[in-house]
Structure 1
Amino acid sequence: MGKGLIRQDKTCLNCNYMVEERFCPNCGQENTETRKSFYHIFSHFFKDFTHYDNAFWRTIYNLLFKPAVLSKAFMSGKRLYYLDPIRLYIFISFITFFIISVFPNEIEDIKTSSKEKSLSQTNIPSIDSLHIEERGIDGLTKMGMISQENNDTIKKLLKETKEINSKGIINLGFENINELDSLQKNGADNIEVNSVKNYVLKKWLTIEEELTEEEIFERFSESFSHNLPKVLFIYMPIFAFILWLFNNKKKYYYFDHAIFTLHYFSFLLIMILVIFFIGKLKPLLSMSPVLGWVHFSLKTLGILFMFYYFFPAHRLFYGDKFFLSFIKSALVYFINLFVFSVILVLFSLLTYLNLK
């Protein structure tokens, strides 16, 4: 039952009917105050999934340990006993990516630990930061302050440092945009002035000139993780379409494959969250070799279970014989793996080129 404060005005906000008690006798809307706290909104959102007949926990249990049961139940008409597939996927997707975004990632941990370490130690400047030139090294050698052997060693280090600093994340064959523009003006054979390649090269070089490698990696990771849920959501219709191609089109409509896909992707997101938490236990479980093996085993089992789950789910949902189901499952699985990999590469490139 509702716990909000009942409005003093007895007129229903939805249908203007007179409300004597808590609920409108005409439309059923609760006649409570419309302004809610954040706690009320969040708790109402969570209870909406969990309060009725333990449907939430029943759905999660069957999703994890009984492949295809939810999809078959939904298609057979049992649509109140378990959570709706779309609402289930949206809820799990929100929880998964929210929790992952809240926890600090390994990059931030490494940066924090390196800063603490640098504060506790004496700062020793690098060779490159001292702006030492080869001429100066030769002068120190003539004065007898350093030996010829040390002279050669320092020159070698200087050369290697300059080579490292001159390289970007990926060597595109150009130092900067000015070099690219110069080649275009001089009519270089391998450069097309108005090509897509030219646009990508310019964007790439601009990013490498304006941002450090650390900033690029940090912003790329943030943008990639922020937009990945959208990529998964967009990819689901493609996954369902590939299922449609390999199964009986008279017996199963595209809608049936979409329901199966929603449940399968919900399972994958839960497993991603589980493996994420297992990964966060690494510092604790690495305290001894035995616990380290336990951590490695749990993570490996989680990944293998993600891979294995699709095969029994496919066989149980579509009702094919074992060998036929295995062949079809393998084809569907590896085609999707290839297509998704291509989409992921394109998405990564697009994310990189749109860094700000």
Structure 2
Amino acid sequence: MSHNPIREDKTCLNCHHVAEKRFCPNCGQENIDTRKTFYQLFVHFFEDLTHYENSFWKTIKNLIFKPASLTKEYLSGKRMSYLAPIRLYIFISFVTFFLLSVIPDNEDTPDVNINKKNELKSSNKNKDTIYTEQQKIIDLEKSGSISKTTSDSLQNLIIKAKKEDLEKDKSQFTLLGRHYKSVKELDSIQKNGKPSEKLNSFAYWYTRKMQLVKDKHDSEDLKEKFAESFLHNLPKSLFIYMPLFAFILWIFQNKKRWFYFDHGIFTLHYFSFLLLGILIIRICSYFFEFVNDYTFFNVLEYIFMIVSILYMLYYFFPAHHRFYEEKRSITIIKGVTMFFINLICITLILFFMAIYTFINIH
């Protein structure tokens, strides 16, 4: 409920019934002024999204520390005290992926600095090697051992060879076991090459898509765009995967006692917990980076990460046990079996999503 004053006019703006109090007895709309400041609009949006009056924090608390309690409460009919499962998932999903995309990596950490120094040394080494070889050829030319034409040809060959080596180093992705310099080379081989060199229709389509991306971007740019695009598409993959996760639960449970809807609510709460856990770990990791020069905080971060990850892995078992009310031994057997089934499924989904992400990088 907002804290805006009630309108003096008691006629409901929605259904035109008389609203003596804050809410219309006919349609339930709040009888307040519809014109608001930007601040009021923002607060109203947040309150509407989270149903802020204690229910939000109560929901989050139960979600983290009381596995399956939200699902049981919701299915028992107690729905006004907590956020609705779909609203909870959408809100947590939005906040998680938004903050993951805006929280920067700390570029001042020792590991990053060491990598940058190594890359700089490697680059300087290549330049020094080219310079040394060219200098030797120039010295031979001055001494009369080789002609100027030969000297120029040798220098051009050295530069060309070094460029080819650099291009090979840039190639971070193997295209069906073959390396192509450009799309033109691939098209030429596909059109005029030997039958053994040609690819089938699908392999050619896939390889051409990959090569187009490689031709447009260098290695570092490609990594950055791939990570950005993968993170952008991850929420879609999780949303697609949830019905499959609920279906796997349905397979392992009593069909007469539990409906697919029940498994869907359990899945929404479980995935909301996982996303919230990922967000908390990332935020804490970011702040720990500012004090990573102190051994105490490094140890504390390590312990926090281990405990958090173990708790996220453990969470499913008490949630499953309390919700489905089965013996602990049965819960463990089913849980481990479903874990490996889901691991295979999510690996395949992420693999195909990675391919989709890569071939659609612009």
> Equivalents in 2 of 1:61, 1:6: separation in Å?
33
Residue 137 of structure 2 corresponds to 138
Shift of 1:348: 1.0
> Which of the numbers 167, 180, 202 marks the counterpart of 1:165?
167
Instruction: Tell me the C-alpha RMSD between the 2 structures.
Output: 3.3
> Which of the numbers 314, 318, 329 marks the counterpart of 1:312?
318
Q: Flag structure 1 segments of 5+ consecutive residues without an equivalent.
A: 145-154
Q: Which secondary structure state, in structure 2, belongs to the residue aligned with residue 281 of structure 1?
A: helix
> Which of the numbers 229, 236, 250 marks the counterpart of 2:235?
229
Residue 75 of structure 1 corresponds to 75
Deviations 1:289-318 (A, max 9, x none): 222111111111111111111111111111
> Equivalents in 1 of 2:194, 2:40: separation in Å?
65
Amino acid aligned to 1:105: D
Residue 46 of structure 1 corresponds to 46
Amino acid aligned to 2:252: F
1:179 equivalent to 2:185? Answer yes
> Which of the numbers 207, 213, 233 marks the counterpart of 2:213?
207
> Which of the numbers 341, 356, 360 marks the counterpart of 1:350?
356
Q: Which secondary structure state, in structure 2, belongs to the residue aligned with residue 197 of structure 1?
A: helix
Q: Flag structure 2 segments of 5+ consecutive residues without an equivalent.
A: 144-156
Deviations 1:60-109 (A, max 9, x none): 11111111111122222222232211111111111212222222235x77
Q: Which secondary structure state, in structure 2, belongs to the residue aligned with residue 311 of structure 1?
A: helix
Deviations 1:91-135 (A, max 9, x none): 1111212222222235x778xx97xx99xx9xx967449975945
Residue 148 of structure 1 corresponds to none
Indicate how the Cα distance of structure 1 residues 126 and 58 shifts in structure 2: closer, same or farther if over 3 A, else same: same
Residue 93 of structure 2 corresponds to 93
Q: How does 1:159-308 map to 2 (within 5 A)?
A: 162-167=164-169, 168-172=171-175, 173-190=179-196, 195-308=201-314
Indicate how the Cα distance of structure 1 residues 162 and 132 shifts in structure 2: closer, same or farther if over 3 A, else same: farther
Deviations 1:31-70 (A, max 9, x none): 4443444432331233343543x22222111111111111
Deviations 1:115-168 (A, max 9, x none): xx99xx9xx967449975945532236769xxxxxxxxxx99996774233341
Shift of 1:26: 4.3
> Equivalents in 1 of 2:263, 2:70: separation in Å?
13
Indicate how the Cα distance of structure 1 residues 247 and 215 shifts in structure 2: closer, same or farther if over 3 A, else same: same
Identity, in percent, stands at 45
Pick which of 229-238 and 41-50 moved more.
41-50
Contact 2:22 2:31 in 1 (8 A): yes
> Equivalents in 2 of 1:129, 1:32: separation in Å?
74
> Equivalents in 2 of 1:200, 1:348: separation in Å?
13
Deviations 1:271-301 (A, max 9, x none): 0011101210232331222221111111111
Deviations 1:183-239 (A, max 9, x none): 112243345566121111111111111112222222222222122112111110010
How many residue pairs get aligned? The number is: 336
Contact 1:96 1:269 in 2 (8 A): yes
The alignment's TM-score, normalised by the length of structure 1, stands at 0.82
Contact 2:130 2:159 in 1 (8 A): no
Deviations 1:241-293 (A, max 9, x none): 01111111111111111111011001101100111012102323312222211
